Amino acid sequence: MINKDTQLCMSLAGRPGNFGTRFHNYLYQELGLNYIYKAFTTNDLQAAIGGVRALGIRGCAVSMPFKEACIPFLDKLDPSAAAIESVNTIVNSDGHLKAYNTDYIAIERLLAKYHIDNTLHFALRGSGGMAKAVLGALHGAGFKNGAVIARNETAGRHLADLYGYQWLPDEKGADARMIINVTPVGMSGGPEEHQLSFSEEMVKRADIVFDVVALPAETPLITLGRRLNKQTVSGAEVIAIQALEQFVLYTGVRPDEALIERAAAFARG
């Protein structure tokens, strides 16, 4: 039951979704925690972050396009966010706003879970805040050979140069055994939801197909990868891990694996 002591957590996104809201609220209810979670968007980011501080909102998830733009309004960056200059989680402790990046943690764990060989050549499409998290995790895991495919040369070159990778304006010349989509292509409700983020030819040449788009869990890229018997890593896996780590940062409670699986299944339903 909501009362005066209920702690609010929230998310800020250009296109708010339901996964985080359903995931967090399910866990609050199952664990008997006096929290509630709500998704928002905003046209005034500075005022929104000021509201997190002023109203004592305990935690705030941050999604595109706010992951870098929110940094000037925060007090401290955890190394997970500072290393890649991108934020996806804000924790409010008595008005002090500290930022983290649990996307980085999620990618790091999935690379280890699937024992992905760090000598593989990869091609990553995208140049935003999530792309920074993925590239940071790849670099931290020892991947030395990769390319950033981005139409925006300034952003693409800058991101590639941060980690010593190649920049390419398109797929031409990209020879990759792992392809990674970090763009909104394939996302439910978007203008490109039915499109492939990589050409079918690139998917055929790859061994591993990785899509960070979480909704739907079966994006066109993942669907094609599975049809061609490629190893796939989905955004549904990424979002569940990063949401769990946010939950732990907000509440100090780490649920058991069975409950996490139920919460993720509920959130995807």
Q: Based on the residue annotation, tell me whether 204 is a catalytic residue of this protein.
A: no
State phi, psi for 35 to the nearest 5 degrees: -130, 160
Q: What are phi and psi of 226, to 5 degrees?
A: -70, -35
* 250: nearest Cα among 8, 2, 84: 8
Question: Within 10 Å of residue 69's Cβ, how many Cβ atoms?
Answer: 14
Residues composing the chain: 269
**SS3 state of residue 61:** strand
- One-letter amino acid at 222 equals I
Q: Position 99: which residue type?
A: A
Q: CA 109, 110, 116, 122: dihedral to nearest 10 degrees?
A: -110
Catalytic residue among 4, 38, 67, 144: 67
Angle between helices 19-31 and 257-268 (to 10 degrees): 140
Structure tokens at 111: 């690379």
Rounded CA gap, 161 and 188, in Å? 31
- CB count, 10 Å around CB of 129? 26
Q: What are phi and psi of 246, to 5 degrees?
A: -65, -45
The residues annotated as belonging to the active site are 67
